[in-house]
Amino acid sequence: MTLEGTESVTELAGRVPPSFTLGVAAAAFQIEGALKAGGRGPSGWDAFAEKPGAIVDGHSPAVACDHYNRLPEDVALLKELGVDSYRFSLSWPRIQPDGRGVSMPKAWTSTTA
């Protein structure tokens, strides 16, 4: 991967001292997408986002960055970038679709190691 007008990602990652831990973070609602996939229930943010003018330029969290469906390739990109740690969050309605009771086992499983 090469960034336009700059060094390759590998060259840029080589500039970081080996003792440095490079970490990134993401928030579920901003990147997850797939609002109805995997048994996910509705959230208060879903209701807010449906209101006209609530989100700049009419963007929708329904797709967002589609991290839910692109997890393996997103994690591969993080690895390629030399990221050492990744803090991500899961949407609470994906864990407990009704907001209470038993959690959804699918929310805790992944095909990515």
pLDDT of 67-112, one tens digit each? 999 999 999 999 988 889 999 988 999 888 888 887 776 655 554 4
Q: Is 58 helix (H, G, I), strand (E, B) or coil?
A: helix
- The C-alpha R_g of the chain, in whole angstroms, comes to 17
pLDDT of 2-61, one tens digit each? 556 667 777 877 787 889 888 999 999 989 999 989 889 999 999 999 999 998 888 888
Tokens describing residue 45: 């943010």
d(CA 49, CA 35) in angstroms, rounded, equals 12
Domain locations in the chain? 21-108
Residues near 103 by Cβ (< 8 Å), separated by ≥ 6?
95, 96
